[in-house]
Amino acid sequence: MNKKYLNIFALIAVGIMAVAISGFVILSHDGGKKDSQQSKVQEKKNIVFILSDDHRYDAVSFMHFNSFLKTPNLDKMATEGVNFKNAFVSTSLCSPSRATILTGMYAHQHGVVDNMSPVRSNLTYFPQYLQKLGYETAFIGKWHMGEMKGDASPRKGFDKWISFKGQGVYYNPEFNIDGKKVKRKGYITDILTDYAINWINKKRDKPFFLYLSHKAIHALFRPARQDSNKFENEKVPHPASMADTPENYKGKPRWVKLQRNSWHGVDYMYYGEYDFDSFYKRYCETLLSLDRNIGRLLDDIKKKGLEKNTIIFYMGDNGFVFGEHGLIDKRHMYEESIRVPLFAYAPGLIKPRVVTQMIQNIDIAPTILDIAGIKKMPKQMVGMSFYPLMKGEPVKWRKEIFYEYYWERAFPQTPTTFGVRTDRYKYIFYHGVWDTNELYDLQNDPHEMHNLINDKKYAGLVNKLEDDLFNWLDSTKGMYIPLRRGPDYIKNKRGPKKECKFLYP
């Protein structure tokens, strides 16, 4: 064969190969595109965020809260998932903490500083970003922000909306479902879980995000009928700091002792509507009903094969004090008030692990956006994503967390409070209280019984922590005390008829 023919054959061969290769490229390109689209859909993780109300960090059976409370489903989430054993809120109050979770901002930044504060219309909630990332989103449950407006109409960021006004009710609630009023018979936690399961089981070609926000276990506690009075005959443990003794109030600010005899104190709690032991038992029974429903949701997610690609979070919106220092409720900066349960359960994705770093409610939004694959974290997110900690990856973490609480007209027993907590120390600074601030060594004094504020040995530490606290407030535009007009509870101050046995000095 001469050169000319060789060249022609070579050209034909090259041409055939080129067509074949290009065809292959086209085919594989098309096929690959489909595959990668599919895998992208599969890669996107479903996310369920379950929030409960006033669930203190240790009120679970794996923490041995008492001898009778059993929470097998929450225990399972914590022990077979990631347990964040040092999880805190930046404000221990319902609406401010909820607004922080939804916006990733501190209370003095989003402006929802108490349960009555109006909610600014220009706030952006993190599920709005999830929608942009291709998620189908739902809000089911208690919104409880901007109480003065008192409406339950759909809010931004949710494709499905099922909510109710304010605190809602435990039995026979009325919902707002995508703008329509719907009255239901039954127990709130059962109904919300049914709605959640129905929505998750909907057919969709998108990843989903569910924000399931329970009314439980907020006072006044009411369990499901089957749990009613289950713990009636149990013996309720009282914390050592509950007794009104000189030792228990040594070094404590005076407001703490005065609060004993108020709506949120053990001597006249809820103005006599409850006694301490019954109150505690009803809390545990209501928690039982919640735990059972968490189990129903976990079971359903497993049954539907969604477990392999779904991350389920559980968190309390703030802590709750049961008699510590003679107090009931939350708001202040003692441990039982600011610590919350936080678990991440994803058996198909995340190995069981205990995370010891200090996590806060400001971290929820950036973490969920990180899991959803956001490229650039929105500027408003002041917290940090703890997704790497969930996966056991090394990450530089914060050494301090900050706290704020603003005095409320409705519950004037607790003063405006700012604070900073490290792994070991806590400094509490009061605004408008003139007897004393507080410093605790949590390693040697976990129950916060020995106020070290006047110990000269710690003077340098106090100065440093106060500097850190005010640097935080300054750098985040928090150097002001918010005020609000009434009319809520405007006259709700101490009076001879309000607090029993109160003697004016």
Q: Which of 51, 55, 208, 219 is nearest to 141 (CA)?
A: 51
Q: Which residues contact 495 (CB under 8 A, 6 or more apart)?
A: none
273-302: contacts with Ca ion (CB under 5 A): none
The residue (of 54 and 147) whose beta carbon lies closer to Ca ion is 54
**Cα-to-chain-centroid distance, residue 399:** 20
- Smallest distance from the beta carbon of 316 to Ca ion, in angstroms? 7
The residue (of 289 and 318) whose beta carbon lies closer to Ca ion is 318
Q: CB of 353 within 8 A of CB of 367?
A: no
- Smallest distance from the beta carbon of 214 to Ca ion, in angstroms? 10
Distance CA 172, CA 185 (A): 4
* Angstrom distances, CA of residue 424 to CA of 420, 444, 446, 471: 11, 9, 9, 20
- Smallest distance from the beta carbon of 335 to Ca ion, in angstroms? 16
Stretch that binds Ca ion, among 58-66, 310-318, 346-354, 437-445 (CB under 5 A): 310-318
Quote the crossing angle between the two packed helices 364-371 and 94-103, to the nearest 10°.
30
Comparing every residue's Cβ against Ca ion, the nearest one is 94
- Asked if 317 is part of the footprint of Ca ion (rule: CB under 5 A), the reply reads yes
- Smallest distance from the beta carbon of 203 to Ca ion, in angstroms? 35
The residue (of 103 and 451) whose beta carbon lies closer to Ca ion is 103
The residue (of 54 and 499) whose beta carbon lies closer to Ca ion is 54
The residue (of 145 and 389) whose beta carbon lies closer to Ca ion is 145
Stretch that binds Ca ion, among 124-132, 138-146, 261-269, 317-325 (CB under 5 A): 317-325
- Smallest distance from the beta carbon of 86 to Ca ion, in angstroms? 19
- Smallest distance from the beta carbon of 448 to Ca ion, in angstroms? 21
- Smallest distance from the beta carbon of 60 to Ca ion, in angstroms? 17
b/e 303-319 (16+ beta carbons within 10 angstroms → b): eeebbebbbbbbbbbbb
- Smallest distance from the beta carbon of 27 to Ca ion, in angstroms? 57
The residue (of 94 and 152) whose beta carbon lies closer to Ca ion is 94
Q: Which of 100, 318, 360, 414 binds Ca ion (CB under 5 A)?
A: 318
Residue span 33-62 as binding mask against Ca ion, x where in contact by CB under 5 A, dash where not:
--------------------xx--------
Strand pairing category for 353-355 and 321-322: unpaired
The residue (of 129 and 139) whose beta carbon lies closer to Ca ion is 139
The residue (of 53 and 336) whose beta carbon lies closer to Ca ion is 53
The residue (of 227 and 317) whose beta carbon lies closer to Ca ion is 317
Stretch that binds Ca ion, among 62-70, 132-140, 309-317, 320-328 (CB under 5 A): 309-317
Distance CA 451, CA 275 (A): 29
Q: Is the dihedral of CA 453, 456, 457, 460 positive or negative?
A: positive
The residue (of 145 and 401) whose beta carbon lies closer to Ca ion is 145
The residue (of 145 and 365) whose beta carbon lies closer to Ca ion is 145
- Asked if 219 is part of the footprint of Ca ion (rule: CB under 5 A), the reply reads no
The residue (of 54 and 136) whose beta carbon lies closer to Ca ion is 54
Q: Is the dihedral of CA 454, 456, 459, 462 positive or negative?
A: negative
Return the half-sphere exposure (C-beta side, CA atoms, 13 A cut-off) of residue 377.
Answer: 19
- Smallest distance from the beta carbon of 282 to Ca ion, in angstroms? 16
In this structure, what token pair is assigned to residue 419?
Answer: 């604070």
Size of the site for Ca ion (CB under 5 A): 5
Q: CB of 448 within 8 A of CB of 335?
A: yes
Distance CA 439, CA 207 (A): 47
Residue 471: count of CB within 10 angstroms of its CB: 12
- Smallest distance from the beta carbon of 419 to Ca ion, in angstroms? 19
Residue span 224-263 as binding mask against Ca ion, x where in contact by CB under 5 A, dash where not:
----------------------------------------
DSSP 151-206: -----TT-SEEEEESTT--SBS-EEEETTEEEE--SBHHHHHHHHHHHHHTS--SS
Residue span 77-106 as binding mask against Ca ion, x where in contact by CB under 5 A, dash where not:
-----------------x------------
- Smallest distance from the beta carbon of 186 to Ca ion, in angstroms? 23
Burial class (CB in 10 A: 0-12, 13-18, 19+), 43: exposed
Q: Which of 45, 372, 41, 47 is nearest to 209 (CA)?
A: 47
- Asked if 336 is part of the footprint of Ca ion (rule: CB under 5 A), the reply reads no
Distance CA 405, CA 428 (A): 11
391-410: contacts with Ca ion (CB under 5 A): none
Distance CA 100, CA 404 (A): 12
- Smallest distance from the beta carbon of 54 to Ca ion, in angstroms? 4
Binding site residues, Ca ion, CB under 5 A: 53-54, 94, 317-318
